[in-house]
Amino acid sequence: MANIMVNEACNLRCPYCFAEEFVNKSPKEMTLEDFQEALNFVLSDSTDSQVNIIGGEPLLYKHINEALRIALDDPRSYPVMIFTNAVELDRLAPDILESKKFRMLVNCNSPEDMGTKAFEKMRQNLLKFQRDHSGDGRFRLSVNIYKPDFDYSYVIPLVREIGFDVIRMSISVPQKGDLKGKSPLDYFREMKLVAMRFVCDMIRCGVITGFDCNFLPSCVLTKDEHDSVMRAKEVFYSALSRRYSEAFWQRSIVCEIHNCTPVIDILPDLQAIRCFGLSEYTKRDIRDFRSISQLRDHYIRTVDRPAHSIWTSEECKDCDKREYGQCSCGCLLFKAKQLFAEGVGRTS
pTM recorded for the entire structure: 0.90
Note down pLDDT in tens along the chain; length 348 residues. 899 999 988 988 888 877 666 666 677 899 999 999 999 999 988 888 999 999 989 999 999 999 999 999 999 999 999 999 999 999 999 999 999 999 999 999 999 999 999 999 999 999 999 999 998 889 999 999 999 999 999 999 999 999 988 899 999 988 777 888 889 999 999 999 999 899 889 888 888 888 777 778 888 888 888 888 777 777 776 666 666 655 555 556 566 666 677 789 999 999 999 988 888 899 999 999 999 999 999 999 999 889 888 888 888 888 888 887 778 888 888 888 888 875 544 444
User: Which is it for strands 284-285 and 271-274: parallel, antiparallel or unpaired?
Assistant: antiparallel
Residues 6+ apart with CB under 8 A from 227: none
Distance from CA of residue 172 to its chain's centroid?
10
Question: How far is Cα of residue 12 from the mean position of the Cα atoms in its chain?
Answer: 17
Amino acid 347: pLDDT: 44
Q: Are 15 and 146 in contact (CB under 8 A)?
A: yes
Q: What are the residues whose beta carbons fall under 8 Å from the beta carbon of 313, sequence distance 6 or more?
A: 183, 184, 185, 186, 329
The DSSP bridge pattern shows strands 271-274 and 264-266 to be antiparallel
Phi first, then psi, for residue 320 (nearest 5°) are -60, -35
Evaluate whether 266 touches 54 at the Cβ level (below 8 Å): no
Q: Could you say which architecture CATH assigns to the domain 2-249?
A: Alpha-Beta Barrel (3.20)
Report the pLDDT value the prediction gives residue 247, as an integer from 0 to 100.
57
- Give the 3-state secondary structure of 15-41: CCCCCCCCCCCCCCECCHHHHHHHHHH
Geometric angle at alpha carbon 170, from 227 and 280, rounded to 5°: 130
Q: Is 325 left (phi over 0), alpha (psi -120 to 50) or beta?
A: left
Residue spans per domain, the chain: 2-249, 264-341
For residue 21, the model assigns a pLDDT of 66
